[in-house]
Amino acid sequence: MAGPPLVLHVSNEHPPVSPDYGFLRAFHELTVRDVLRHEWIAPAATPDRVAGLAAGERPDLVFVQSPQPHPWTEREVAGLLRGLGSPPVVVWEGDAWGGRKRLKARNLAWLRHADVVFSVALGAQAELLRRACGREVRYVPHVTPLCFAESPDPGNAPRGVALVGSRLTFCGVALIADDGQRGRLARALARVPGCELSIYGRGWRGPHARGPVPYDDQLAVMRRALITVGWDRYRGHAGYFSDRLPIALSAGRVHVTSRQPDLDWLPGPENGLHLADTPREGAERVRELLGTDPGGLLAAGARGGAWARAHLTELHALRHMLAGRLPVPAPRSGPWPAIASLGVG
């Protein structure tokens, strides 16, 4: 009797790899539920190493994360897939592209062999991907790792405002779309009376700069603050936000960030999430929130954390991408019907 379907997972995580990130924990959850079997390939693996798997059991599906560490070519990918018996390919494109940031050949090598591409942004990004690879492009938002969603709040007394996000400039010119707005937001926050501001990330200077934060430490940094703040790049991309938004929600703190198109499915202020159209509006919202009861802010943040745990984790996203191609149940509650309908038609 055949066992659960086998998924070959081509990862983009750099060794040594934590089992908590890069969909590994989500795959583990589906494995222990006997929904599927999971074969993981580190990005350091060469095509020859991956092709050696063809001598064993052939996968029922290949799941590929944004394939950037290894310089894949279309010839390598085509040969690998032939050796594996030409299984269906699902590609998760977890980066935003556009402007000075152009798709790389190693991405295109997999995108052009995909049966479906799941992109964390729609609009201009989806059109870019469709033109580049001629494949179906569907939407999946950034989500929080399960280890963050399940991490208990230590209950320390939070204070101040934490802005988390890097700023890349050259001679004062922003190198990535909307980094200029991120800088204006930081300056506006610094002028808010009573705002104890801490800014985390590369490229910041001045009395509020605290330097970069390792990925693993983001949640702890956010939980030390009463209010967290972000501002996304690529704001013209419908549906886009970085994983910092769901991580901030899972931190259980009120979060103020930028508004992009097609985000009506996200929770609102009652669950601690405030979206702003301009840096000035974002700073004004922080000023208003600082004038309210801290207990009320923490209660709203706790509701946002519960919402993220219930609806916006890597397990939800993985089920969304695999459903319909494997006997994996799609997420049906909360925002997922709306998410599934975006970009269709």
What is the per-residue pLDDT for 64? 95
Q: Give the whole-number percent of the chain exceeding pLDDT 90.
A: 75
Buried b / exposed e across 281-308, counting CB within 10 Å, b at 16+? bbbebbbebbeeeeeebbebbbbbbbbb
What is the per-residue pLDDT for 1? 43
Residue 345 has pLDDT above 50, yes or no: no
What CATH number does the domain located at 6-142+313-341 have?
3.40.50.2000
What is the per-residue pLDDT for 343? 72
Please give the mean pLDDT across all residues of the chain: 91
Q: How far, in Å, CA of 61 to CA of 76, rounded?
A: 18
Q: What is the pLDDT of residues 9-57, one digit of tens each?
A: 998 776 666 778 889 999 999 999 999 999 988 665 555 666 666 567 8
State the average pLDDT over residues 66-88: 86
DSSP track, 60-103: SEEEEE---SS---HHHHHHHHHHTT---EEEEE-S--BTTB--
Higher pLDDT, 20 or 337: 337
From residue 17, how far is each of 24, 39, 216, 244, 314 by CA, in Å?
Answer: 9, 15, 12, 20, 16
Structure tokens, 148: 């963050």
What is the per-residue pLDDT for 54? 59
Determine if residue 245 is left, alpha or beta; phi over 0 gives left, psi from -120 to 50 gives alpha, anything else beta: alpha
Q: Choose the weakest-confidence range: 44-58, 232-246, 253-267.
A: 44-58
What is the per-residue pLDDT for 319? 98
Helix (H, G, I), strand (E, B) or coil at 30: helix
Residue 106's pLDDT band (boundaries 50, 70, 90)? confident
Q: Can 6-142+313-341 and 146-311 be said to share one CATH topology?
A: yes
State the average pLDDT over residues 202-227: 96
Residue 199 has pLDDT above 90, yes or no: yes
Helices of type H across the chain: 24-32, 47-51, 74-83, 105-111, 124-133, 146-149, 179-190, 218-223, 244-250, 279-290, 294-311, 314-322, 336-341
pTM for the structure as a whole: 0.94
What is the per-residue pLDDT for 16? 61
Q: Where are the domains of the chain?
A: 6-142+313-341, 146-311
Determine if residue 210 is left, alpha or beta; phi over 0 gives left, psi from -120 to 50 gives alpha, anything else beta: alpha
Higher pLDDT, 103 or 296: 296
State the average pLDDT over residues 153-162: 92
What is the per-residue pLDDT for 12? 78
Q: What is the pLDDT of residues 276-329, one digit of tens each?
A: 999 999 999 999 999 999 999 999 999 999 999 999 999 999 999 999 999 999
Residue 172's pLDDT band (boundaries 50, 70, 90)? low
Residue 167 has pLDDT above 80, yes or no: yes
State the average pLDDT over residues 118-133: 95
State the average pLDDT over residues 193-197: 97
Higher pLDDT, 109 or 54: 109
Most confident region among 33-42, 65-74, 95-104 by mean pLDDT: 33-42
Partners of 332 in the beta sheet? none
CATH classification (class only), 146-311: alpha beta
What is the per-residue pLDDT for 99? 78
